[in-house]
Amino acid sequence: MKTILVTGGMGYIGSHTVVELINKNYDVIIVDNLYNSNKIVLKRINIITGVTPKFYEVDCCDYNNFEKIFKENKIDAVIHFAGLKAVGESVNLPLKYYQNNLISTLNLIDLMNKYNVKNLVFSSSATVYGAPKSVPIDETFDLHVTNPYGRTKLMIEDMLRDYCFVNKDFNCALLRYFNPIGAHKSGLIGENPNGIPNNLMPYITQVAIGKREFLGIFGNDYNTVDGTGVRDYIHVCDLALGHVLTLDKLFTNSGLVTYNLGTGKGTSVLELHDAFEKACGFKIPYKIMPRRAGDIDSCYANCDKAYKEIGFKAQYNIDDMCKDSWNWQKNNPDGYTE
């Protein structure tokens, strides 16, 4: 049984990946400082899988406490989700983002080196493609970023590319996620943002439960099918499975690999809104608002490389994603509570 250390494993994508790893018989250790998550997630993981993973409440920026995890456990691979991810906040508090995202990763690479752990999956983002020259986007596209959050992702990718260049026995996957939504079928784990949601799906679900009055749609004059922004929404359980497939690849001594994880299909804001109405069975009021600074027309992935090299293909469609997001929100109107 291989042991996987999951940083940020109590968070949205991390918790779904932990479930998938346990289902595939991995031994899982979670490290999370609970900055953007809740301890109840552990109980929920246990209800779903029958297993409670070992959990360390530790900040990955705290080298000494982080090191204890490597001292106490024999780790085969790390999946590194821990990080701050709010684009808008990163513009206002850039140092917070550089400090948290870069230091935690530097500590991690240093400790992996020290304790001879040779396999790493890193959560990168489609944000590294900036405003792409065309869609769909493949992994060879130019990289350029437009905000401090994105810059941390690109800097970490660069660090890892440099590290892999001289450490040929180090296996590392840079996974560029498109837009994860949805939740585990059980409705026990899901996305649980603090405060006003920045992202589209959690905003819609909060309108649906009556926490917000209406959805603001940021612009309807984009060069897209109906004028609203187009994105590549991927079910978080498909994304979770992508990590398990990626681990299999790393264990073949892959060296450095980079994959887009999306569905390859673009969906507009209005299309997602309509699909959600279908899923919940009632109207979601919306208003057209001005464009949001920094948004682009269209962003969706070409996922051929992930399919060819690791057999990754998203199974769930937009209707499934809406149904599962709604199921999670409806069962947990106030997020994680006992």
Using the rule CB under 6 A, is 111 a contact of ligand NAD?
no
Closest separation in Å from C-beta 241 to ligand UFG: 18
Using the rule CB under 6 A, is 91 a contact of ligand NAD?
no
Using the rule CB under 6 A, is 85 a contact of ligand NAD?
yes
Q: Which residues are catalytic?
A: 149
Kindly state the tokens that stand for 322. Answer: 């809406």
Using the rule CB under 6 A, is 60 a contact of ligand NAD?
yes
Question: Please, which residues have CB within 8 angstroms of residue 273's CB and are 6 or more apart in sequence?
Answer: 204, 215, 217, 284, 286
Closest separation in Å from C-beta 60 to ligand NAD: 4
Pick 15 or 268: Cβ nearer ligand UFG: 268
Instruction: Figure out which of the listed residues 6, 69, 77, 82 binds ligand NAD, where binding follows CB under 6 A.
Output: 82
Kindly state the tokens that stand for 268. Answer: 């507009």
Query: What mask of x and - would describe binding to ligand UFG in positions 114 to 153, judged by CB under 6 A?
Result: -----------xxx--------------------------
Site for ligand UFG in 178-217 (CB under 6 A): 178-179, 198-200, 203, 216-217
Residues 164-200 as b/e (b if ≥16 CB within 10 A, e otherwise) read: beebeebbbbbbbbbbbbbbbeebbbbbbbeeebebb
Question: Please, which residues have CB within 8 angstroms of residue 293's CB and are 6 or more apart in sequence?
Answer: none
Using the rule CB under 6 A, is 159 a contact of ligand NAD?
no
Indicate the residue whose CB is closest to ligand UFG: 229
Contact 9, 49 (CB under 8 A): no
Closest separation in Å from C-beta 269 to ligand UFG: 5
Pick 15 or 298: Cβ nearer ligand UFG: 298
- Dihedral pair phi/psi, residue 5, rounded to 5°: -90, 125
Interior angle at CA 88, CA 130 and CA 330, nearest 5: 105
Using the rule CB under 6 A, is 148 a contact of ligand NAD?
no
Consecutive H or E run containing 260: strand 256-261
Question: Please, which residues have CB within 8 angstroms of residue 93's CB and are 6 or more apart in sequence?
Answer: none
Chain centroid offset of residue 306 CA: 16
Give me the residues that bind ligand NAD (CB under 6 A), please. 7-8, 10-14, 31-37, 59-61, 81-85, 100, 104, 123, 125, 177, 179-180
Give me the residues that bind ligand UFG (CB under 6 A), please. 85, 87, 125-127, 177-179, 198-200, 203, 216-218, 229, 231, 269, 292, 295
